[in-house]
A and B are shown apart, each in its own frame.
Chain A
Amino acid sequence: MTQKHIIKYYPVDNADNTLIKLSDDSTIQIDCQIRDGEENSSGVKIYDVKKDLLKELKKDSNKNPFVDLFVLSHPHKDHCLGFENNYYCGDPADYSDDNRKKDEIIIGELWVTQQIFLHDVCQHAILIRKEAKRRRQLFEDDPKKADTYGNRMRIIGYNDQDKTVEGLHYAPSDIVNKFNGKVSDYIEFFIHAPFKSDLVIGKAEKDHNSTSIVFQASFRLTKGGSIKTRAFFGGDADHYIWEKVLRISESNNNQDKLKWDIFLSPHHCSWSFFNDRPYKNNSTPKDYALELLDYKQGNAYVVASCLKIEDDDNNPPHHQAKEQYVKKVGAGYFRNTAINKSSKAPEPLEFIIEDDGIKLTKVESAAAIGIISSSAPRAGR
């Protein structure tokens, strides 16, 4: 059978919700954005992220849905809306019929930053903080149990003030290929950020975006095979962070950790990747931002997970930022989640990784299949 991995970027307006599904059915979710309602304020149909996730995720031996790894890039609403009610918090042994009825998703392993433990997280992140605290406490109390399904956690990055949970961290330059208790043959993560200097108490509280987890995910199709695709994720990290990512990697001869075939444009295609905001005062993109984009491999994609990008002053999404990306990859390789398939009812951008590299799928399903595969509208009197 042909091996292939999938990366799905969901249309969630100015927010992030990405799912990686490997050929062995392991799943990794980066941020979440699960909204209620039928349409957003602009009349665009809200895509049912939860329904699709449940379709893609495996079920554990108790037939409960789970994701192997959940990465919260940083605890902002546009990266964690809907966590409450859709993800299970607590000991997996206590997963009840009530949780099952709500199809709450168990997180095999959770990745967060130190910021989640601060007091000023948004209300949508409070439950994640509670769950992270539970797992951290379990790690301190019962490290063996903490290394079991539904209890695992890693804190990405650290600072000098945080020494209480030694052994629970991954730091920049770490290469990770084990999650949810299993070493993966297919994916490894190179941790770029957050940097210690950005996690300093006081500074970090002022700018959560700068504490975003930045990593490069490298995909192989076979055990020990060559890397077929590299994907970059960086939450809402701004150009200061990306400059450090570039400079540190280059100075450490880690140029291959800067390569990318697919790049999630930071902060929902904001100008902040290229320079400070507002744009009118800082309209020249920083060299290092452009330099980092030049690490693209062949026909690489930039994904803008944001609202439809119009030629206006919004930021994000920012039209001039888009233009900069398009200059680097070409119009056909810059993809905006808000307009995939339809700007009225967008669907996820689904990339498959196979022997030929990465490919954006563009399937136009037969109408009959669409009708048959979803419930029909109400009929009758």
Chain B
Amino acid sequence: MNYSYPIIEGAEIQPAEFKIARAKNLAFAIQQHSYCLDERMVCKRRADGCEVILVTLDIEIPQNPLNGIQVYEDIAIICSENDNAFPEVYALREDFEGGLPHTYLSPFEHPVALCVTEQSFTEAKHRLTEFEFLGYIFRWFSLTSEGKLHQEDQPLEPFFFSKGYVLLTNPYDPEKYTHLNRIGESNLFELSTEPDGQSPFHMFGFKSDPQTHGFIRCQPKILSDIAGIFKIEGTSFPIFLHRILNVRLKEFLQNQKLVKDKLAFHGLIPVKRHVDDVEPSSWEYLFFLTNQSILDLGEKSGCLFQKDGAIVPIINKEFDLEVINNIPIELYSSMLDFNPSTSALFNNIEKNDNPFILIGAGALGSQVFDQFVRMGFGTWTIIDHDNLYPHNLAKHTLDRKSVGYNKAIKVSEKANELHRMEIAKPINSDFLTIKEDDSVIAKLKDAKAIIDMSTSIAVARTLARDYNEAIKTPRISSFLNPDGTDLVVLAEDKHRKFRLDFLEMQYYRCLFQEESLHDHLKYDDSLKVRYNRNSCREITNRINQTDVALNASICTKALKSIIENGKPTISIWRADKTTFEVRKYSFEPTRWIRKDVGQWKMYFDLWLLDRMKSFRYSKLPNETGGILIGSYDFQRKVIYVCDSLFAPPDSIEDKSTFERGVEGLLDEYNEYLKVVDNQLCYLGEWHSHPQGYSTNPSTYDFKLYEYLYNKMSRQGSPVLMGILGDNDCTIIFKP
């Protein structure tokens, strides 16, 4: 193997003479490997103690390999004594293509340094075998020969040893910024229009002529190193800079600070994949920082000097091109600043720019919103009239600085600051007071989903019923149970066939049906802190932040999925208190039918009707019946009938009459109310008529209804009576 690169020069030794364990093991692995041509292996020790192995690899390549990879490739592997990084790997062939992805920029063009693994050496070291490391090298060549090594989300250009990073805003305008300011003591810089902090750099930005992929072959050290690479309208950058300094010197001298700031250069380079391409396939952003100011360059060129603190030009003198050519430069990488696009990328999701409305930025709302914001998912309008109080800090994403301020405003500010752009707009109002505002209605209309986390049933009902014609946007309601252990998500489908109020009724019914959820709404008064309790959804009691965080994560995932698939949902997630396992309860949303009586609308769950029909059928030829359970909304004149407790055992059921008994019924009813936290109630009675008979009420039936009506109306409660026949169900209701 006849190569004379300085980095592989050293005394030839036998493999057994290697002192560095990594080198010795590599040599052994090469001898064992089927596709290392070990007869060609050469071992060396460099003067600095590093040990070098030269070997030929027999690479698996396709018949027409890409990137010039050949079936036999000579490589050098260099191991250092301190063994604190992966051994360096170089492709030795003198015509080995430069500028390939997953190569490093070096101060020399050849040999080409390969980046054979993206792992951290610290993480990989404890289990890395040399045989495996050889595998990385083979894989590098094979994948490069098939053009498959490079992933879509990785830069096309080779890696270089960057001194640090410059944060790129999005969108980025290279001509907008004049300064690079260091962030604290870090190696991160921010672009700015003003100098800030210690030792800011004055930056000259330029847009280079297009380059073809692989244009950077080695790491530049002085400005002339980039002369051949970066050209502006055909002029190399050092000459371009030379011209600017001379032409604009007078202008620069107006600002003595500018003249004393160190210089930085920033290149925006359109990169084409192939020479013939018309459009660039990517844009490279490179930053070069120097330790020289315009004053330094002027003094070295003999065209500027300082006198009594003033900077004075020397007549008939110019900046010296040689001085400019020799400006030492350090290459900095760009790093995309955090924004919705990068946050979606780093969360491995598709970016979503759709508008959403969030009503309620409390404990659950703020945490769910925070997760959506960090995922770059959506643009938001946040509606909440509450201020942040100290006790909220236990479960809220806001911190102490926000105490006393409106939650909607503060969570929006936090989100916008995180992305440095407006992704959330606050509305500091109670939703119920602004629900008719045109601007609010317009936002509700435009939104992709309206997410209610207000813990207010009034808000949920308003959303469910009050804008049906005007606003087609699906509504989603989510809340925690009083314990904070259970998360509830009720979601309308995208066509709003399953509306939120029906889903809510069904949710209550399902709590009673599913025995393991009987404690879902159980509430311990001793845990209350300071508020009067308004609804079963209110959680300003002593629930635990870990429960809120756990459920907020599940909620975010569930909401995202619902938003994307548009399916109706009634789901409850429950975390076991001792094992922390999460169980999901899902209930299939059911269809409802409507019967109008006067101004009142009565909704019957078809599931219930089917159940009543089955019960009637099981009792035929006798009549049977039971009590009706549901809810009513006086404000909107709506009655929901969602369940029934059927005839108790002491009921009298015969072919022409039915007398509903009482045995155990009250206990069962009370238990029902307890389970649903009184969100459902007694609505009346129903009974069946025998086969072949109409469902017109009999004299007895009218008498029964009068009895019920007299009892219930005294307390202002509505009452129904249902008569179930072969094909229909007649409802008797006196508004």
Contact = CB atoms under 8 A, between A and B. Distances in A.
Interface of A: 229, 261, 297-300, 330-333, 340-342, 354, 356-364
B341 to A, nearest CB: 32
Contacts of A356: 62-64, 146
Contact of B63 (A261, A340, A341, A364): A261
A340 B34 CA distance: 8
18 contacts: A229-B63, A299-B61, A299-B65, A332-B70, A332-B71, A332-B72, A356-B64, A359-B63, A361-B60, A362-B34, A362-B58, A362-B59, A362-B60, A362-B138, A364-B33, A364-B34, A364-B35, A364-B131
Given A332-B70, A341-B34, A299 B64 contact: yes
Contact of B72 (A300, A331, A358): A331
Interface in B19-78: 33-35, 58-65, 70-72
A364 B135 contact: yes
Contacts of B61: 299, 359
A169 B70 CA distance: 44
Contacts of B35: 341, 362, 364
A331 B58 CA distance: 10
A342 B71 contact: no
Nearest to A356: B62
A54 B621 CA distance: 71
Contacts of B65: 299
Given A299-B71, A330-B71, A357 B64 contact: yes
Contacts of B34: 340-342, 362, 364
A360 B70 contact: no
A188 B605 CA distance: 67
A364 B30 CA distance: 12
A357 B33 contact: no
A97 to B, nearest CB: 40
Q: Which 8 A-B pairs have the closest CB atoms?
A: A357-B63, A332-B71, A356-B62, A341-B34, A362-B60, A332-B72, A362-B35, A359-B62
Given A299-B71, A332-B71, A341-B34, A360 B60 contact: yes
Contacts of B59: 362
A330 B72 CA distance: 10
Contacts of A364: 33-35, 131, 135, 138
Interface of B: 33-35, 58-65, 70-72, 131, 135, 138, 146
B216 to A, nearest CB: 28
Nearest to B59: A362
Nearest to B132: A366
Contacts of B70: 332
B633 to A, nearest CB: 57
Contacts of B71: 299, 330, 332-333
Contacts of B63: 229, 261, 297-300, 356-359
Contacts of B62: 354, 356-357, 359
B313 to A, nearest CB: 63
Interface of B is mostly: loop
Contacts of A340: 34
A141 B370 CA distance: 84
B143 to A, nearest CB: 13
Contacts of A297: 63
A297 B138 CA distance: 25
Nearest to A358: B63
B404 to A, nearest CB: 62
A300 B64 CA distance: 10
A261 to B, nearest CB: 7
B27 to A, nearest CB: 17
A262 B383 CA distance: 71
B72 A359 contact: no
Nearest to A261: B63
Contacts of B58: 332, 362
A342 B31 CA distance: 11
A331 B74 CA distance: 14
Q: Report which residue of A299, A358, A363 has the largest number of chain B beta carbons within 10 angstroms of its beta carbon.
A: A299
Contacts of A300: 63
B227 to A, nearest CB: 38
Nearest to B65: A299
Q: Report which residue of B62, B65, B131 has the largest number of chain A beta carbons within 10 angstroms of its beta carbon.
A: B62
Q: Report which residue of B34, B70, B135 has the largest number of chain A beta carbons within 10 angstroms of its beta carbon.
A: B34
Contacts of B72: 331-332
Given A341-B34, A360-B60, A364-B135, 17 more contacts: A229-B63, A297-B63, A298-B64, A299-B61, A299-B63, A332-B58, A332-B71, A332-B72, A341-B35, A342-B34, A356-B63, A359-B60, A361-B60, A362-B58, A362-B59, A362-B60, A364-B33
Contacts of A331: 72
A364 B71 CA distance: 16
A313 B63 CA distance: 33
Nearest to A330: B71
A342 B72 CA distance: 17
A213 to B, nearest CB: 26
Contacts of B146: 356
Nearest to B36: A364
Nearest to A361: B60
A67 B457 CA distance: 73
A348 B146 CA distance: 23
A359 B65 CA distance: 10
Contacts of A358: 63
Nearest to B147: A356
Nearest to B60: A362
Nearest to B34: A341
A341 B62 CA distance: 19
Nearest to B62: A356
Nearest to A362: B60
A271 to B, nearest CB: 25
A58 B131 CA distance: 35
A227 to B, nearest CB: 13
A344 to B, nearest CB: 11
Contacts of A362: 34-35, 58-60, 138
A299 B64 CA distance: 7
Nearest to B146: A356
Nearest to A355: B62
A1 B433 CA distance: 59
A381 B62 CA distance: 50
A21 B295 CA distance: 74
A28 B321 CA distance: 72
A332 B61 CA distance: 11
A359 B61 CA distance: 6
A358 B72 CA distance: 17
Contacts of B64: 298-299, 356-357
A205 B230 CA distance: 75
A341 B60 CA distance: 13
A70 to B, nearest CB: 28
A332 B93 CA distance: 15
B61 to A, nearest CB: 7
A357 B62 CA distance: 7
B149 to A, nearest CB: 15
Contacts of A332: 58, 70-72
A229 B64 CA distance: 12
A333 B65 CA distance: 13
Nearest to A351: B63
Contacts of B33: 364
Nearest to A363: B60
Contacts of A360: 60
Contacts of B131: 364
Nearest to A359: B62
A71 B231 CA distance: 64
A358 B62 CA distance: 6
A359 to B, nearest CB: 5
A359 B62 CA distance: 5
A356 to B, nearest CB: 4
Nearest to A360: B60
A80 B653 CA distance: 92
A299 B61 CA distance: 10
B74 to A, nearest CB: 12
